[in-house]
A and B are shown apart, each in its own frame.
Chain A
């Protein structure tokens, strides 16, 4: 399975490098959203729960753009058939696409965090950066698994642009709650609070449960 995952990932990264679509769109969407919040809230700076909430809702909506593009090349250029004809474990596509989405989100977050700090965030996020990276990584893993699963389901339908937000957003509610609560003390004015282990545990559990669920049903999603 490792070689098939490597082949798929290598191909997708090559396609992204040649025709970058998802990442620039996700970054621009996020920055645009921060600008809107900046003016809509009429506040120069946000902190704590509000800052964390804005950050995670924006990241999740930006992720939807990436999720929508995840299987487009497979669908439009016959990649599914080419893959299905190969003697490889079909789950390797789930793993490769989830890693790809995880990488998309990680790259986007580098730009988004910088833009968030400039446009909205009061306290500096650089002090609690290691804790912030831990929360981002756990949440990214959850979004990557759910996103890949929903994208694989949606790509088989005509209304795929509608299916992704309609299914992915409700499924991501526990993840956003946990990620936002975990991040809130890190984005508080006057020094970061401690990272609460329970929210990390919820994020870890979410990743595990949906990871196993995706592994169990992905094969069937690739069936005609």
Chain B
């Protein structure tokens, strides 16, 4: 089954075209790696897939549901990790996860499991505003995977993480269907999408590191 199908998807902010003509298909269990310089349209694509933004043209189908019409059916099946950690700074890590667990109807036992997995069990009851960037990112990863989503949408998931923390987080975000925005040219998915100024520079299964580097030239 196809997890993601995009046909000529585009999006503009006023006069500025942020994304144009994106056509691709991602099978269940595959990873789509997305590359592009700042402002290339990567985040816009991720937000469209999460049903947080309406595409202005084309057709987007996620987990078999047409967006934005059936966005309600996609919500809860998607784990989203963007630039913003979506955490309340004055709440503790545990309180933040409890809030999302209540919204997603997830048992609280899962919270302890995840806090342990991301190495934050001992800081679970500290407010998020006392955390380092890496700790915030680890909490955000725990939030994104809390409800065991069918599709993970990840914007630089390892940003701000030291190698030890990255090793803790990686198992949580590996294995399922994923869209991963990365700036690491050596990162590989089953399918690689390169965006330049909102347009598709390449969308292929076999891409070289040089192809990716050329996007940033």
Contacts and interface: CB of A to CB of B under 8 A. Distances in A.
A78 B75 contact: no
Given A81-B52, A85-B80, A86-B76, A3 B105 contact: yes
Interface stretch (B82-90, B162-170, B200-208): B82-90
Contacts of B100: 82, 86
A4 B90 contact: no
Contact of A87 (B50, B104, B127): B104
Given A7-B103, A11-B99, A83-B103, A78 B84 contact: yes
B214 interface: no
Contacts of A6: 102
B72 interface: yes
Contacts of A83: 103
Nearest to A15: B90
Given A3-B105, A81-B82, A86-B100, A11 B53 contact: no
From DSSP, what is the main secondary structure of chain B's interface residues?
A: loop
A86 B90 contact: no
Contacts of B143: 82
A4 B101 CA distance: 10
A70 to B, nearest CB: 15
A3 B114 CA distance: 22
B86 A78 contact: yes
Interface string B53-86: 1100000000000000000100111101010111
Given A78-B86, A86-B103, A224 B91 contact: no
Nearest to B87: A77
A7 B88 contact: no
Interface in B21-53: 50-53
A173 interface: no
Given A3-B105, A11-B91, A85 B54 contact: no
B80 A81 contact: yes
B103 A88 contact: yes
A4 to B, nearest CB: 6
16 contacts: A3-B105, A7-B102, A7-B103, A77-B87, A78-B84, A79-B86, A81-B52, A82-B86, A82-B103, A82-B143, A85-B76, A86-B75, A86-B104, A87-B72, A87-B75, A87-B77
The 5 A-B residue pairs with the shortest CB-CB distance, nearest first, are: A87-B76, A7-B102, A86-B103, A78-B84, A78-B86
